[in-house]
Amino acid sequence: MKFTKFEKISLKNHPELNERWVQDRIAEDPSILGLGDVILKDKERIQPRAGRLDLLLQDAESSRRYEVEVQLGATDESHIIRTIEYWDIERKRYPQYEHTAVIVAEDITSRFLNVISLFNGVIPLVAIQMTALKTGDQVGLVFTTVVDQFVLGLVDEDEETQEVTDRAYWEKRGSKKTVAMADEFLEIAKKYDESLELKYNKFYIGLAKDGQPRNFIIVRPKKGFIRFEPKLKSSPETTERLESAGLDVMDYDARWGRYRIRLKPGEIEANREILEAIVKEAYETADAE
């Protein structure tokens, strides 16, 4: 394998390559942005009385949409205002989707990072720095996420305000059989931390250690099934593994960063190998954060 030296070039000052060229490259393969398995929904999308949105992307596995604005050179105030404006228009027109504003620029400045830090958490916003590299007569693009979407904590994960329930509450809301499935997941989780225990919250059954939440997995018992929700980043590989195992995989919950898998009584044991692997990955991911 030969080492090749690449030359970094400025697209803003390039005599031939321009913003439209960058848009076309992203449109050809939206996955190069690093947003996961996304598809192109629209390009140069007309906004009522507000110009055109560069790119509208949609997650292939969920109802998440990304309003993408491309900027050559350094970010500026008009760029962030335009990006947020287009995001706001789209979310109001199509409230059935979850929307994320995405800024792509060659130079994400420190001043710009300070500004978007004021919005992040209130406005779901991702900032991606774009680098153009040249070797010979070939040019490539590298995209690096500088600011990722800030995920707000669930109200029912706030230990000071949540309403704690008990096993009887969940056996009435679900059933004894489905609540017993929570015990099976606890048994799996204890392989990685013996001190874990179930915590019965109003909206879900989570895990706790020494009274503190450790919700790398949660479950929601229903009457005839349980919804198992491991906290993992969405990836085509993980989705493929789950679906290939024959599991009933629901839409990925991009808002809270969780897979959602529907399991009936008996299906945990039948799929124990893959489920143990997923619990382990969720535990290790949470432990690394």
Residue 154 has pLDDT above 60, yes or no: no
pLDDT score of 288: 64
Which class for 213: exposed (0-12), middle (13-18), buried (19 or more C-beta within 10 A)?
Answer: middle
Q: Please, which contacts does 92-99 make with residues 24 or more away whose CB atoms are closer than 8 Å?
A: 94/65, 96/63, 97/58, 97/63, 97/64, 97/65, 98/62, 98/63, 98/64, 98/65, 98/124, 98/254, 98/255, 99/64, 99/65, 99/66, 99/67, 99/124
Beta-carbon contacts of residue 283 (< 8 Å; ≥ 6 apart): 189, 192, 193, 216, 217
Residue 161 has pLDDT above 50, yes or no: no
Beta-carbon contacts of residue 15 (< 8 Å; ≥ 6 apart): none
Segment 197-225 shows an average pLDDT of 93
pLDDT score of 217: 96
Percent of the chain with pLDDT over 70: 92
Residue 283 has pLDDT above 90, yes or no: yes
pTM over 0.75, yes/no:
no
H or E segment and range at residue 281: helix 272-288
Report which of 58, 62, 21 is spatially closest to residue 42, judged by C-alpha positions. Answer: 58
Query: What are the E-state strand segments in the chain?
Result: 7-9, 38-46, 52-59, 64-74, 98-107, 125-135, 138-147, 196-200, 205-209, 212-213, 217-221, 226-230, 248-249, 261-263
pLDDT score of 164: 66
Would you place residue 48 in the very low, low, confident or very high pLDDT band (cuts 50, 70, 90)? confident
Domains of the chain: 7-147 (3.40.1350.10), 155-288 (3.90.1150)
pLDDT digits (tens, 9 = 90+) for 178-197: 999 999 999 999 999 999 99
Of residues 186 and 39, the one with the higher pLDDT is: 186
